[in-house]
Amino acid sequence: MQKKLFSVPALLLTAVLVVGCNTSDKTEDSDAQKNEPSNTSTEQQQPSSKDNNVDDAQETPTSNETNKGNTDTETKKEQEVKYVQKGVDKTEKATESKSADQDYKVQQLPGFTLSQEEPGKDMLVSNDNAEVFMRIETIDASQSSYDQVKTSMQDYMNAVGDTSSLSSEELAVFKDVKNIEGYVVHFVEDKEKVIGVVFEKDGLITKLTIHDNDELDLTDAMLKMAATISKK
């Protein structure tokens, strides 16, 4: 009878140990599965290097396009200007200059200096003779009228001396102007002359006063520069 009593507890203890071992194994397997990284998810999230290369090629401009843009910008700042001086045809490269005070820009030939005479008036002066120059005054077309500025110029030129009008051929250098008039006063004994021009273009009314002499004869050069005046 005692043998039977000892056998039953022994069997129960053995069963408990077996169940416990199985449970422990299952728990360890489950934990291992949870801790194992998912290769499939990572592979789906990483973009391929091929796609990155395509995007980089689309976003990066070529050096040729960049150089072309720089060349176009430089070309706009220089312009060949042809003029006649003392009966000799000349061609020089003019460089774009902007007025410090007024709302215009102009192609400036070598041998001249652009500076402000006073507010609203600039002087483009010959480096060889300060008495040879072109005064430039611009007025926004919304602030005045062409007729008013022209009348002001006529009054000034009449005060200078006996005035005659410039011909259409002499003013032909001015392209795409809305209105234009020109006048000249000759001082035969002094071999000098004063020229006045008024024109309207690009929303600007421009008044020019040119002082020149026979020694330098830069009238044509100054008129050619004046023809390049435009709004900034």
Domain ranges of the chain: 2-60, 95-231
Q: Point out the least confidently predicted range of 46-60, 97-111, 126-140.
A: 46-60
Q: What separation in angstroms does the CA of 226 have from each of 9, 111, 128, 174, 209?
A: 121, 15, 19, 8, 10
pLDDT in tens, 137-148: 999 999 999 999
SS3 46: coil
Residue 166's nearest CA partner among 194, 144, 192 is: 194
Q: What is the pLDDT of residue 211?
A: 98
What average pLDDT does the chain have?
80
Single pTM value for the model: 0.68
Contact 106, 124 (CB under 8 A): yes
pLDDT in tens, 160-179: 999 999 999 999 999 999 99
Q: What is the pLDDT of residue 166?
A: 96
Q: What is the pLDDT of residue 232?
A: 93
Q: What is the pLDDT of residue 77?
A: 84
* Mean pLDDT (whole number) for 177-201: 97
Listed as own residue / partner, the contacts of 72-81 with beta carbons closer than 8 Å and 24 or more positions apart are 79/107, 79/228, 81/107, 81/109, 81/221, 81/224, 81/225, 81/228
- Structure-token pair, residue 204: 């600007």
For residue 144, give every residue at least 6 positions away whose Cβ sits within 8 Å of its Cβ, in sequence order, or none: 205
Q: Point out the least confidently predicted range of 20-24, 86-90, 103-107.
A: 20-24
Assigned CATH for 95-231 = 3.40.1000.10
pLDDT bin (cut points 50, 70, 90) of residue 113 is very high
CA-based torsion, 150, 153, 158, 164: positive or negative: negative
CA-based torsion, 138, 103, 113, 169: positive or negative: negative
pLDDT at residue 198 tops 50: yes
The DSSP secondary-structure symbol of 211 reads: E
Cα 159 to chain centroid distance, Å, stands at 43
Q: What is the pLDDT of residue 35?
A: 44
Element (H, E) at 217: none
